Structure 1
């Protein structure tokens, strides 16, 4: 089957297959994904497609199998999500007082805030920060070490003892 024949097959069968998927999926996005995957399978297996009306029936069969795969994926996702929620619920977390941590962060010198933000929020490594700031890696390492120490001291002074938890808040961007 060449591209023109496939395009014609697509034009004839897209809407009926979309309707099939819409009636069986929880959302229009999921239905669109099922139809797209069905036609992707059809394209990959174009040499196996039957002629005429049998191609339409073949597409419905492929859509049915794609939908089954989609449902299995949703079930796996739901099970993993439930397991993760249960695991997270079992872990005691001493969240620092986010407003206090944010206030402490905002009280740091601008240069310290910039360094800590580049690490925690932007995910940059020391060599990358050195390029951004236009200085040596060694200078960044020293400045970053000092900024972290100042932040930790300021957190302790504000009554936030769990520096690890404060770092998690910083990484989530809750300090703005």
Structure 2
């Protein structure tokens, strides 16, 4: 069935809509910063689309029509639950996105280097954090224009605004992003994983399992940042990050194991802690790393509640 054909019954509609589920989910995730909120919003999008199926006139593709509905559903959710954008570099509602699900995205123009770079950089946590500091409508404009490549007139039609207003909102959004991202692009994107990155992740993992703060400290860049959503607080600078580890009693921990993984196209390490009563290592934390120039520039730590969604093992056995 062509994507321009109007689905006439529920099975046909569902089949057509499901083709676009993953990319719509990623779009909503960029807008909302939360994996679970994105899940709910995609469901809302499909419900709205089914109820309004007679309004699809074929003037645009079915995919574009769904994106319009999804964007408005995101704006409605933000108006209800998060009318104010994030502040101070913190995004308490931030959640990781599994790479295995990102692999489900349609190839599109993936063979083009620029398209590859945009797709990768705009799903990394640094970008997600920055975009959550924008007001909802400029955020939508930025994502539709700079990530999806929509023409300004199409964005204006979606938002019920003028092209001039959309262009103005885009400039404000880009300026806002510059305030929350390092100056140079290569300073905020981890880029493609290479042998050096893998070795640094291995050293970080070994030092963490050994709870050796001195070995960890030398892996951090001077301006490293660390956060633990949804826990409030953002540590900036090596001294502050190390001091936080010491204060939390990390150096005294024993019985850790680690499983390497990746989320948001970034290296990550899932840590497990030995529980004598369970006779197993149980989920503890997930550290997502941003690596630049051979040093760790950011650590975002998520709790054990994220492990199931990421399909990480629910436990590690003693002799495993």
Interval of TM-score (by shorter of Structure 1 and Structure 2): 0.3 to 0.5
Larger Rg: 1
- Greater percentage in helix: 1
TM-score, with structure 2 as normaliser? 0.23
Q: Which has the higher contact order (CA 8 A, sep 6+)?
A: 1
TM-score by length of 1: 0.40
Q: Which has the higher strand share?
A: 2
